[in-house]
Amino acid sequence: MLEILYQDEHLIAINKPHGLLVHRSKIADDAKEFALQLLRDQVGKQVNPTHRLDRKTSGVLLFAFDKSTEIAMQKQFQEGLVDKHYLAIVRGYTPPELEIDYPLAKENGTLQDAQTKFVTLQQAEMPFAIGKHATSRYSLVKANPKTGRMHQLRKHFAHIFHPIIGDRPHGCNKQNRYFKEHLEMNTMMLHALTLSFVHPVSSQQITISASVQPEFKRMLDLMNFTL
């Protein structure tokens, strides 16, 4: 059963687990379960996603029950009217806060502007000998993407040399291999923590929050990070 975070007659939000696709995709034909179909069967109604989360990203995923609400919410996402916050565990010690303003290319090569703000919540030095150092440093960050480009957070953190742990192909191969082989972690440390928006029907301000999934919590505990 999917964890339902919010529901009214127009919208429903779930806490998507790591590894679950939003819907069927030709690029992931190994998948047998999808959030859209699972939620539809769980609530007994047709649902349509209003935005996307990567397969390995957990957290708040919002669906609409009707077409007009779906279109209205998609418009809010496209126009940057939805306030989004993510948690991520990244390599290295990040600065206390930073705004990343770095254009990202679409599949056709066209550049799109992209901005991400983040703050560093906590840092840890772990006894992981990866590469030439006896220890490894990590940061827990809270990121607020101002635009919604594909893989924006993954690409932006890789751009500043603080890749998200478990990110392939944008991350660090040595780190990812260590976490998989020694810590048995097969996902990505990125979690959609909150969504805030104006309800397209009621005009009320809505904020939806999702607690981290067990695998993210395990890595937080390992590094003595607290929320």
Q: What residues are labeled active site?
A: 54
Query: Residue with structure tokens 């998507």?
Result: 16
What is the SS3 string spanning 111-139? EECCEEEEEEEEEEEECCCCCCCCCEEEE
- Residue 88: closest CA among 22, 165, 182: 165
What is the SS3 string spanning the chain? CCEEEEECCCEEEEEECCCCECCCCHHHCCCCCEHHHHHHHHHCCCCEECCCCCCCCEEEEEEECCHHHHHHHHHHHHCCCCEEEEEEEEECCCCCEEEEECCEECCCCCEECCEEEEEEEEEEEECCCCCCCCCEEEEEEEEEECCCCCCHHHHHHHHCCCCECCCCCCCCHHHHHHHHHHHCCCCCCEEEEEEEEECCCCCCEEEEECCCCHHHHHHHHHCCCCC
